[in-house]
Amino acid sequence: MFEFKNTADFAYELDRNDSLAKFRDQFHIPQVNGKDAIYLCGNSLGLQPKSTAEYINQELSDWANLGVEGHLHAKNPWMPYHEYLSVSMAKIVGAKSSEVVVMNTLSANLHLMMVSFYRPSAKRNKILIESDAFPSDRYAVESQIRFHGFDPEECLLELSPRKGEHLIRWEDIEERINSEGEQIALIMLGNTNYYTGQRFDIQKITRLGHQMGCVVGFDCAHGAGNVPLDLHDNEVDFAVWCTYKYLNSGPGSVAALFVHEKHHTTTDIPRFNGWWGHNKSTRFGMRDQFDPIPSAEAWQLSNPPILSLAAILASLKVFDEAGFSNLREKSMKLTAFMEFLLQDLSNDLIEIITPKVIDERGAQLSLLVKKGGKALFDTITSEGVIADWREPNVIRIAPTALYNRFIDVYKFCEILKSQLVTA
């Protein structure tokens, strides 16, 4: 698909021909030893857009000058502030703007979604997850199973790679859903696995799950802002994701969720309610009767932290300006370039466990380190690479289309190779 050369000149040439190269200037790049770090950790914490401070300062100054009047009279009135994010966020996940809402944090939203969408019965009470699910997701799912009086030993089903393999095969997913689907209440997968970088086929999984009568939800923490998503057309029931990874909105920033519109007006879905989910025109009438907004906003509980939403707004503007399909184009190329540069390394030193098929992955490559271990990682860190180490032996590398250059990828590979050979 791509033709690459293994030289620094070629990397510089790719950067010169990159129509998105200018976006790097819109970000603060961390410094190591007085130089730009080789920052390949956008899958963990995205970098700060330079405009973020402006967006937050606007709200700080409106708060200083207006106090409570800011709810209605700030430049960007706070009362409907979450609505300013919906259109751009909906584009990121392929949804209607009425289907997404920015609120709470990821694990909290996952619980709220399971309150509504995990409704176990005597016959159908299981939840299907990946064996390598993010720990928080596993804790959330397990505790929901217990909360309903069931036993995770019996009700938590895990999809695992086959012995000796790292990735989950589609035929194994298919077989599992076909054979056990009638007992599965909820299928809840990370759409892009945080550990291996494997991207699952949302459409196929959702379709099959629905055929078997299961509810299907996805954790898109590693998908949103990274891979194309089509949550509405794929008829996903719900999804959750955070905004501090590929969406560059700051540590612990507010998360988001998706509820398919087919569930917006169903009255028999249980939901934990709060005043921010109530009909906007009568919310301040402080009525006794809850009157849900007929959209994903019904799941909101509280008035949201405006300073954090301001950071998300700043970041989404950058995405809007760059265009997600352009970003994905570049992202595929950046990652393929890294794969190309690493291909001459022996499998005894390092093994890329992320799928080779471009459609089955996002930006990240997960490198299984067979020699050198954590010491190797610490050395490349001291050389100015910021990446992510996962016990027992995986380095996760995620070049990010908005601010990484091809030369970053090239330099990283050079540093890694020089250390591997001496390790």
Ligand X SMILES: *Cc1c(COP(=O)(O)O)cnc(C)c1O
Binding site for ligand X (CB under 6 A): 105-107, 134, 136-137, 190, 194, 219, 221-222, 242
In the complex with ligand X, the residue whose CB is nearer, 137 or 297, is 137
Query: At its nearest, how many Å lie between ligand X and the CB of residue 41?
Result: 12
Query: At its nearest, how many Å lie between ligand X and the CB of residue 73?
Result: 33
Query: At its nearest, how many Å lie between ligand X and the CB of residue 185?
Result: 20
> If you search the block for the tokens 């995986």, which residue do you land on?
394
List, edge to edge, every strand of the sheet that includes 215-219.
100-102, 256-259, 238-241, 215-219, 184-190, 126-130, 156-159
Going by C-alpha positions, the residue among 199, 189, 229 that lies closest to residue 324 is 229
Please tell me the number of Cα atoms within 13 Å of 37 on its side-chain side.
Answer: 19
In the complex with ligand X, the residue whose CB is nearer, 222 or 264, is 222
For residue 280, give Cα distances in angstroms to 6, 7, 83, 292.
58, 58, 12, 9
> If you search the block for the tokens 């999809």, which residue do you land on?
159
Residue 145's SS3 state is helix
In the chain the first and final C-alpha atoms are separated, in Å, by 33
In the complex with ligand X, the residue whose CB is nearer, 221 or 310, is 221
Query: At its nearest, how many Å lie between ligand X and the CB of residue 242?
Result: 4
What is the token pair recorded at 365? 């490559």
Q: Give dist(CA 183, CA 214) in Å, integer.
A: 8
Query: At its nearest, how many Å lie between ligand X and the CB of residue 176?
Result: 20
Query: At its nearest, how many Å lie between ligand X and the CB of residue 249?
Result: 11
- Positive/negative CA dihedral, 144, 148, 151, 157: negative
Query: At its nearest, how many Å lie between ligand X and the CB of residue 366?
Result: 13
Residues 6+ apart with CB under 8 A from 226: 43, 192, 245, 246, 331, 362, 363, 364, 398
Query: At its nearest, how many Å lie between ligand X and the CB of residue 14?
Result: 29
In the complex with ligand X, the residue whose CB is nearer, 159 or 349, is 159
Going by C-alpha positions, the residue among 63, 40, 27 that lies closest to residue 307 is 63
In the complex with ligand X, the residue whose CB is nearer, 7 or 302, is 302
What is the token pair recorded at 130? 């990946």
In the complex with ligand X, the residue whose CB is nearer, 50 or 390, is 390
Q: Give dist(CA 276, CA 305) in Å, integer.
A: 12
Across-strand partners of 102? 256
Residue 21's SS3 state is helix
Which one-letter amino acid corresponds to residue 276?
Answer: W
Helices (H) and strands (E) in the chain, counts: 13, 15
In the complex with ligand X, the residue whose CB is nearer, 190 or 384, is 190
In the complex with ligand X, the residue whose CB is nearer, 18 or 360, is 360
In the complex with ligand X, the residue whose CB is nearer, 253 or 404, is 253
The total of other beta-carbon atoms located within 10 Å of residue 19's CB is 10
In the complex with ligand X, the residue whose CB is nearer, 129 or 184, is 129
375, containing H or E segment: helix 373-382
Query: At its nearest, how many Å lie between ligand X and the CB of residue 121?
Result: 27
In the complex with ligand X, the residue whose CB is nearer, 78 or 194, is 194
Residue 175's SS3 state is helix
Query: At its nearest, how many Å lie between ligand X and the CB of residue 365?
Result: 16
Query: At its nearest, how many Å lie between ligand X and the CB of residue 108?
Result: 7
Helix, strand, coil tally for the chain in percent (to 5) = 45, 15, 40
